[in-house]
Amino acid sequence: MTSLLEVQGVTKRFGGLTANSEITFDANAGEIVGIIGPNGAGKSTLFDLITGFERADAGEVRLDGRRITGVRPDRICALGVGRTFQKLKPFADMTVAENVMVGALARTHRMREARDRALEALAFVDLLERRDRFARELSTGQRKRLELARALATGPRLILMDEVTGGVDQRTIPGLIELVLSLKARGLAVVLIEHNMAVMMRIADRILALHAGRRIAFGPPAEVRQDALVVDAYLGSADHAA
Amino acid sequence: MADDPTLKLEAARAQPLWPRPPAWAVALGLAAGGFLIAYPAIFPSPFSLHLMIMIFLYALMAQSWNVMAGLSGQISLGHAMFFGIGAYAASVLFAKYGVSPWIGLLVGMAISALAAAAVGLPTLRLKGHYFAIATLLIGSGVQIVFSRWEWVGAASGLYIPIERTSPWLSFQFHGAKTPYYFLALGAAALGYLLVWHLRRTRFGFRLQAVRDEPEAAASLGVAVSGHKVLAFMLSGAMMSAAGTFYAQYVLVLDPERLFSLDISILVLLMTVLGGSGTLWGPALGAAILVPLSEYSRIWFGGTGRTVDLIVYGILIVLICMFRPRGLLSLIEDRLRRREGERA
């Protein structure tokens, strides 16, 4: 059986720097795959390669067996891949509902239907009450949930989430975790970048550990936690597990 | 139970797709519409009609610029080229082949849209200021071409032959300004209606997304550069229509004036002053800046040209300091919010 997402030996160089070096991993429907690694390990670049924002120098990305390397980001969205950004990108001068409608309009041409889908997505991330606010008026945690709602409104089969809990109020973290788990329960493949190791160990089915652009481990959390290379490169040095 | 999430979702779904305008806005709109229709009867002097005709034309031109900058976030510094193309297309067809300027209007719009595609396809893919620089240079290039082009009168331009038999068909009313007044009002009204509608369509939503965050828009399925090019084509066609109207109004083609950088800059100033990205901002900007320039010409004669530029400069500095989103930004924010959300 092929996985929904297959990444096969992708490499990306920026000048002399190799951001991703022959990275291979996969993600199945109904599975959460976590990506860990120190800053500069190449996590966000990997997202950009999968979603078409950067073009791989070598290797390929397949969605449902179909090669999507070199396909434009908007086409990749149409194929069923949603993503959020590490640096949040709300449409500041549109309302919250309008933001999510832009996502829904990837699947429908009708405005009424787009609004209904947007309201559903907003209810799902618990932002329904804020629907007529301008996006620029939201807090960081709310903006994260807005980005998620917007990506979900495109009806993805695979969702890539960059730094789910980074920079948000500690009290909102359990709610965000609930959201991620319910996406998995809906049968989506979820790939997430996360610095909070406690969260990652608890919710991820498999973890991909990167260091300096290379894959140093890929497997179930318990296995990755014991991996000498991971302990060395990440857990041991900076102690993010605390 | 008011806290039931399903009920809340149902309540949200039951709301109308678009917020209803508040009563004061409807009243204001009706009053303004009535005033504009009655205006020629109240102020019949040629100057007061001329003033309003220029406000309408500039309101349309600024709105066309707003489609590009306010809706899709791209700054064009060469919009005068479409104004000139619209003026020349209709007038040359009429002067040389006797084609009605109404047909010329459509031909000019089509040529402008094609020119916009030709300029936009290579430049709108680039990030940053390349588009602004490219339009600035291409705009002055087009002016030079028309100033040298013998067939259309080169630098001395072209006079549009006087035609008295069928004023509506040939788009000439000579001494009478009232028909021009209503034509300009109608053109501006159509342009604003179009943009009002556009902002509520899938295309308009996607343009605004491209303006605010192009990468996020792409991740949501929007073909970013394709949308920018389409917006530029639409914007160019609107500007071109204003050019056709203007040429039939003044009955003379002068490449120096029609393609002048002043026009490209003025439409920018008006939009930014009134509120870029808002529906009525460009009209407000035109209603402030057109009288300023017309009156300064009267009060200061030939030297007035520089006086109005000084005032424009001061206005822009004030806007940047105190209301960077334009004069209208406060009111529009409120209009787009629904009842009850207004804090």
β pairing state of A206-211 and A32-36: parallel
Same domain, A35 and A121: no
Number of structural domains chain B divides into:
1
Is the pLDDT at A108 greater than 90, yes or no? yes
Beta strands in chain B (DSSP E): 158-159, 252-253
A 10 A CB-CB count for B327 gives 19
The string of pLDDT tens digits covering residues B291-327 is: 988 887 777 766 656 777 788 788 878 887 877 777 8
- Residue (of A137, A155, A163, A240) closest to A198 by Cα position: A240
- Do residues A124 and A186 share a domain? no
For chain A, state the CA radius of gyration: 18
pLDDT of amino acid B334 = 61
- Residue B291 lies inside a defined structural domain of this protein: no
- Whether B327 is in a domain gets the answer no
Residue B222 lies in a domain: yes
Domain of residue A24, residue span: 1-80+158-242
- The average confidence (pLDDT) of chain B is 88
Residue A128 has pLDDT above 90, yes or no: yes
A123 closest CB neighbour out of B9, B215, B217: B9
- A192: β partners: A34, A161
Name the domain boundary from A155, A172, A201.
Answer: A155
The whole-number pLDDT of residue B343 equals: 37
| One domain for residues A75 and A177 | yes
CB-based contact B184:B53 (threshold 8 Å): yes
Same domain, A49 and A113: no
Last residue of a domain, one of A131, A155, A179: A155
Q: What is the pLDDT of residue B168?
A: 72
B261 compared with A230, residue with greater pLDDT: B261
Helix (H, G, I), strand (E, B) or coil at A36: strand
For chain A, say whether B205 makes contact (Cβ under 8 Å).
yes
Question: Could you tell me if B228 lies within 8 Å of chain A, comparing CB atoms?
Answer: no
Q: Are residues A180 and A104 in the same domain?
A: no
Q: A111 and A167: one domain?
A: no
Least confident of A88-97, A230-239, B84-93, B158-167: A230-239
**B294 domain residue, yes or no:** no
Question: What count of residues does chain A have?
Answer: 242
Question: Do residues A62 and A162 both lie within one domain?
Answer: yes
DSSP string, A48-100: HHHTTSS--SEEEEEETTEE-TT--HHHHHHTTEEE--SS----TTSBHHHHH
ipTM of the complex: 0.91
Q: What is the CATH number of the domain that holds A26?
A: 3.40.50.300
Residue span of the structural domain in which B244 resides = 45-259
| Contact in structure between A131 and B12 (CB atoms under 8 Å) | yes
pLDDT in tens, B219-237: 999 999 999 999 999 999 9
Is it the case that residue A172 has pLDDT exceeding 90?
no
Tell me whether residue B247 is in a domain.
yes
Across the interface, do B212 and A92 touch by the CB < 8 Å criterion?
Answer: yes
Q: What is the pLDDT, as a whole number, of residue A147?
A: 94
Residue B183 lies in a domain: yes
Rounded CA separation A169/A153 (Å) = 25
Own/partner long-range contacts of A212-217 (Cβ < 8 Å, ≥24 apart): A212/A40, A212/A41, A212/A42, A213/A18, A213/A19, A213/A20, A213/A21, A213/A23, A213/A41, A213/A42, A213/A45, A214/A21, A214/A22, A214/A23, A215/A22, A215/A23, A215/A24, A215/A25
When pLDDT is cut at 50, 70 and 90, the band that residue B177 belongs to is confident
Contact A151 B211 (CB under 8 A): no
Strands A66-67 and A58-63: antiparallel
State whether A94 and B12 contact (CB < 8 Å): no
User: Could you tell me if A46 and A25 lie in one domain?
Assistant: yes
pLDDT, tens only, A197-230: 888 989 999 999 999 999 999 999 999 888 877 7
Let me know how long chain B is. Answer: 343
Say which of B208, B224, B337 has its CB closest to residue A91.
B208
DSSP-derived letter for residue A232 is: I
> Does the distance separating the beta carbons of B223 and A109 come in below 8 Å?
no
- What pLDDT is attached to residue A241? 45
Count of the separate structural domains present in chain A: 2
Whether B208 has its CB under 8 Å from any CB of chain A: the answer is yes
Whether A3 and A45 map to the same domain: the answer is yes
CB atoms B205 and A105 under 8 Å: yes
Using the beta-carbon criterion (under 8 Å), do B12 and A123 form an inter-chain contact?
yes
Q: Which is more confidently placed, B273 or B163? A: B273
pLDDT above 80 (res B127): no
For residue A95, pLDDT beyond 90: yes
Could you tell me if A49 and A135 lie in one domain?
A: no
Burial of B37 (0-12, 13-18, 19+ CB in 10 A): exposed
Write out pLDDT tens, residues B23-71: 988 999 999 999 999 999 999 999 999 999 999 999 999 999 999 998 8
Give the end of a domain, one of A155, A181, A215: A155
Q: Residue for token digits 């999968």?
A: A50
B220 to chain A, any CB pair closer than 8 A? The answer is yes
> What number of CA atoms fall less than 13 Å from residue B17's CA on the CB side?
11
Please check the confidence at residue B160 and state whether its pLDDT lies above 60. yes
Is B211 in Cβ contact with A93 (below 8 Å)? yes
Residue A242: pLDDT over 50: no
Question: Is A186 a residue whose pLDDT tops 70?
Answer: yes
The closest alpha carbon to B171, from B253, B249, B55, B93, belongs to B249
Residues A169 and A217 in one domain: yes
Q: Please say if the pLDDT value at position B342 is more than 50.
A: no
| CB-CB contact of A173 with A94 (8 Å) | no
**For residues A6 and A28, what is the distance between their CA atoms, to the nearest angstrom?**
9
Pairwise CB contact (< 8 Å): B220 & A106? yes
Percentage of the residues of chain B whose pLDDT score is greater than 70 = 92
Same domain, A134 and A242: no
Average the pLDDT over A75-88 and give the result: 94
Termini Cα distance of chain A: 38
Mutation pick from B10, B125, B219 vs chain A, by most beta carbons of A within 10 Å, is B219
* Mean pLDDT along residues A22-29: 96
Which residues of A touch chain B, with CB atoms under 8 Å apart? 51, 53, 72-74, 77-78, 82-83, 85, 89-95, 98-99, 101-103, 105-106, 109, 111-112, 114-116, 119-120, 122-123, 128-129, 131-134, 147, 150-151, 154
**How confident is the model at residue B335, as a pLDDT?**
61
B4 — contact with chain A (CB < 8 Å)?
A: no
Q: CB distance A93–B8 less than 8 Å?
A: no
Taken in order B207, B212, B213, B214, the sign of the CA dihedral is positive
Q: Residue A160 — φ and ψ, nearest 5°?
A: -110, 120
Residue B135 pLDDT = 94
Q: How far apart are CA B236 and CA B79, in angstroms?
A: 7
Sequence letter at residue B169? L
